[in-house]
Copies of this chain bind each other. A is one copy, B any other.
Amino acid sequence: MFTIALPKGALLRDSISTFKRAGLDFSNALDENNRSLTFESNCKRAKALLVRNGDVPVYVSYGQADLGIVGYDVLRESELKVAKLLDLGFGGCHMSLAVKKNSNYSKPTDLPANCKVASKFIKTARSYFEELNIPVEIVHLTGSVELGPITGMAEAIVDLVATGKTLKENGLIKIDDLFYSTARLIGNPLSMRLDDNHLRDTILSIESTNSLIEE
C-alpha cells in the first residue's frame, strides 16, 4: 500500500478526480462530516492523508507520502526536495503584483526604492524583486494580504489572483504577473527509486487520462 498527500481546500475536488481516473477512489474525503485525516481507497491499494496545501511537500519530502498534489505556488515557496512529476493543469491562477488602483504605479519599476510589499509568499516575492534589482521590504502576512495597501502599510502585494474579484473589491489592480500556477503531481525521490511499479503505473495512468482531458 502506498500513501498520497491530498491538499485540503480549493484543489481537493480535482485532486480526487485525478486519482479516481487512475483507479484510486478517495471520494469519502469529500464528506464534510468526516473529521478523519486519513482515508483508504476503495480498492485498498492506497491511503490518502488529507493535509493543508502547504504541508503536502513536507509529507512527500519526508517520505510519509509517496505521492502528493500541490499548487505550483506552494511548491515554489517550499524549499523541500521532491520529485516534480506532472503538471495537472487544474487550479490555474496567476501569482501577481498588485497596487492600489489610484496609485501612480503601472509597472514594478515605478515602485519607490525600499517600499513595503506584503505577501504570503515571501521567498517568491523576494526573489522576484531581487531579479528586477529593486530593493523592497517584504512584509509577511498570513491572510487578507489586500489589507496591506488599504491600510497604507504596503505599497504593493504579491499574491495569487484567480478571478481578480478580490482585487477589484479592494480597489487594487494587477501591474505584473510573476508566473502561472497550476496543480502539480509530486513524489518522494526515494519512493520513486524503490518503486515496484505501483507508483509508476499510477503516474502513467494519471498522465494518459490527463492529456485526454486537455485535448
Contacts and interface: CB of A to CB of B under 8 A. Distances in A.
A55 interface: yes
Category for how many chain A residues contact B: 20 to 34
A153 B80 CA distance: 15
A52 interface: yes
B58 A147 contact: no
Interface in A126-185: 139-144, 146-147, 150-153, 169
28 contacts: A3-B151, A8-B143, A37-B144, A37-B147, A49-B151, A51-B141, A51-B143, A51-B144, A51-B147, A52-B142, A52-B143, A52-B144, A54-B142, A55-B142, A55-B143, A55-B144, A58-B139, A58-B140, A58-B141, A58-B153, A59-B147, A59-B151, A59-B153, A62-B116, A62-B139, A62-B153, A64-B151, A64-B152
